[in-house]
Structure 1
C-alpha cells in the first residue's frame, strides 16, 4: 500500500512533461484573458489600418517612335534606339512638357502631384514608351496621361519645326557656294584647255603625248571622285529612304505655306482621333466627325501638293513630317548631287577631248 502511494505521484508529472501540447493547453486555460486581449488588439489595429487605405487607380498610354529604316533592316543601332527612348522618357518628364500639361488640366493639379504619380518606361524590345499615372481619384489618371502625351507631341512638333527651319537655312546658305565651286571648276577646265592648246594637239606630236597622259590622269581622278560621291549619295538615300528627286520635291513642298498649313491641320485632327479613339468606339459621333475631317484634309493636301509640284509627281504625305536629322541628310544629298553633276560634266568634256586626241 505504501509503495503504490509513492509511485503514482512520480509517474503523473513525467507524462505531463513528455507532451508539450498538454502543457500549452494548460497555459492557455490559465492565461486565456490576456491572450484574448492581445489577439483582439492586433486584429482591431489591422482592420483599422486596412480601412484607412484608399484604392489606387491607374491609366496608361503608349507612344510609338519611328525607327531608322536602315537600322531596322541591318539590326544595327539597337542600343542607340534604347538610349534614344531613355532620352525621350526624360524629355516627357521635363519641366516644359509637364508645365504645358498642367496648363491644360484643372487648377487643382500641381507639378508635384503629377510628377509623383508618373511613370515613363520603355517597353523591352520595342520602340514604344509607356506613360502611366496613378491616383486615388478615379478621374485623374486618364486626364493626366492624355494631357502629358498631348503636351509632349506639341513640344516635339515645335522642336521639329525649329530644326526644319535651321536645315532650310543651311541648304540655302550652301547652294551659292556649291554653284560658285562649279563655275570655278568650269573656268579651271577652260584655262586648262587654253593653256595646253587642246585644239592643236593633233599638230604637236611632242606635246600631245604629255597632254594625253595628263588628260587621262585627270579623267581617272574625276572618276574616283565621282565614284565616291555616288557611294555617299547611295548611302544617304538608303538612310532617309527617298531618292534625290523626292528630296528636291520635299524641299520645295516644305517652303509652301498652304501645304504646311493643311498638313498641320491634318496632324492635329489625327492626334485628336488617336486620343479620342482610346475613349470611344468607331461608331461614336466624335470619331465619325474626326474621320470625315481627316478624309477632307487628306484630299485637300493632295490637291495642294499637286499645285506645287505638278499632278504627274507623287509624294507620300507622311514624308512631309521630316525631322531635323532627315533635313540635314537631305542637304547633304542635294550638295552631293550638285557636285556629282559638275564632276560628270567635267568628265564628259575630258573624255570627249581625250577621244578626239587619240583618234587624231
Structure 2
C-alpha cells in the first residue's frame, strides 16, 4: 500500500508528461482504431477423438490428454496452415504463422474434444478456413495412422525371423542340457533314486551282517587250525594233488637220508652233495608245478612241505577255511560295490535341485520366446488387417456453419485497450522521469551526502498559503502559526549548541544555489531570536543579489555593508544599521557591489564582525550561495557556524555533492541543515496539516470565548 501511494505521488508530480502520453496512446491505440474497426465473426468447428485404450492398430497412442495435447500442437502447425492456404487459394503473401496464430484451438480439460475457431471480418471466409482446416487434419490424422501401422508391420516382419531363431537356439540349449545331464523326468528320477538308495541301504545292511557272520566263523577256525587264507588254499591243493604228494614224499625221504648221511659221512662227502642236488631238483619241480597251476603266483613263496598235512579231517577244515575266506572276499567286494553305487546315487540326488532349477529357467525362456513369437505373428496378422481398415483417431467431426452475428465489438475493445495502454504508458513515463531526475526530493537523499543535524523543515508557506500566511515574514505577521513555531525551534537549537568552549554567536546562513529561500529563512530566524529577548543583528552579505530589501520593504536607508567595508564618507556602524523592531537591527548590503569577494575577504570584514559581536547577542549573516562564489565559504570561516538551506526542486545530486566538497575544503563548521519546501515527504506534510488544523481550532475557540 505504501508503494501505491508513492506511485500516486510520482504521477501527481509528473502529471503533465504522463497526461500527454496517455492522450497520445489512447488516441492512436484506442480511439483511432475504434473508428476504423470492422465487426468480427467467429466460425467454430469440433473434432471428437476416440477414447478407447491403445491397441495394436494404434501402437503409438498415448494417454488421452497427452495425445490431444499433441494434436493441438499439430493442428496449429505451419504445414497444415500452408495446406489450407493452398486449398482456399488465399493470397501467397499471407504469412502461414499469422494464419495459424489467428486460429484458436482449445481442448477442454478431461475431454476428448478439440474446438477450432477462427475470427475474421468475412464470416464465409472464417467458416471456409475452419472447415478446410478440419478436413485437412482428418485426412492428415488418417494418413499418419496408416503410416504408423505400416511402420509397425515392417517392424514386426523383421522381428518374427529373429524371434524364431532365438526360440530355436533356446530349444537346442534345453535339449543339450537334458542330454548332457541324462535327464528325462527330474521329478520321477528323484523319486526312483530315493527308492533305489533305500533298497541299497537294505542290501548293504544285509551284506554287512553276512560278512560279520563269515568273519566270525573264520576266526573260530583260525583258533582250531591256525593258518592264513593263502596257506589254507595251498594246503587244500597240496593234500588233494597226488603229484604234489609224491614229490613232497620224495623230498621228505631225501631230507631224512641227507640228515643221516651228514652224521655218518660229514658235510663234504660227495654222496651227500649228490643227495642235496637231488633234493634241490625235486623242490624245483614242485615249485614249477605250483606256479603252473597258479597256486603261489600272487603270494609270497610258501613252504609247501609245512602245509602238507595228509588226513581227511584236516583237509575238510582247510577246505572250509578256504571257502569261508572266498565268501568273505566276495562279500567285501559286494559291499564295496554297493557303497560305491549308493554314493553315486546320493551324488545324483544332491545335484538334482540345481539341474531342476536350470531346466526350469531354460523351459521358462523357451516358453517366453514361444509366446513372444506367437504374439508377434498374431500382431503382424492384426496389423495387416488394420492397414486396410484404418480410420484414424478422430471419431467424428462437426463442421462450422456461417455465423450470422458478429462475435465481438472491436470498437469497445480498442477503447479499453487504448485506455489501459495510456494509463500504463503514462505511469511508465512518469516513473522513468522520476528515476532519471537527479533532483533532491526527500530527506534520505540529503542524508546520503550530509550527516549534519536537521534543525528544521520549513514548508512552502508563502506560495501554498499555509496557515493563511500572506507574507515572507510569518514570525512577524503570523507569530502564532506553526511555521513561526518551527523557526523558534531552530533558534532554540542554537541555544543548545552555544557553549563556553564553542560559542555560537555569529551564524552564516547560505544555500547551494540561488532562490532556495535562504534570505527569507535568515530574516525569520532573526525575528524568532529577537522575539525571545536576544539582541540580534541581521547582516545582508550577499552583495551580488541582495534579497533583504525585497523582504523588508521601505526600510533601507541607503547605507550598508559595502559602505562600511570601503569606509565611504566615514560611514559608521550606527549610521548604517537599521532598527526594524525591538532587539532586531539589519545591516543591508549597501549600494556598492564592485569586487564582492575582495570586500568580504578583507581584514576590515573580520574587524567589523569582532566589533559587532560586542554589541549584539546573535549575528545572522545572509551569505551568497555556496556555488556562486567563495563569499559563503569565507564568511563561514569567519563565523562560529554555518546553516545550510536546501530547497526541494532547486538542486540535484551533483550540486549537493559539489557543495559538500566545497564545505570540506574550506573547513567550514556546519552546525545544521534547514529544509525548505519539502512537500514530497508524506510524514512532514501530514505533520504540518495536522498541526495547522489543531492551531486553527485553538484560535477559533479563543475567539469564541472572547
Provide TM-score, normalisation by structure 2: 0.25
More helix by share: 1
Find the structure with the greater CA-based Rg: 2
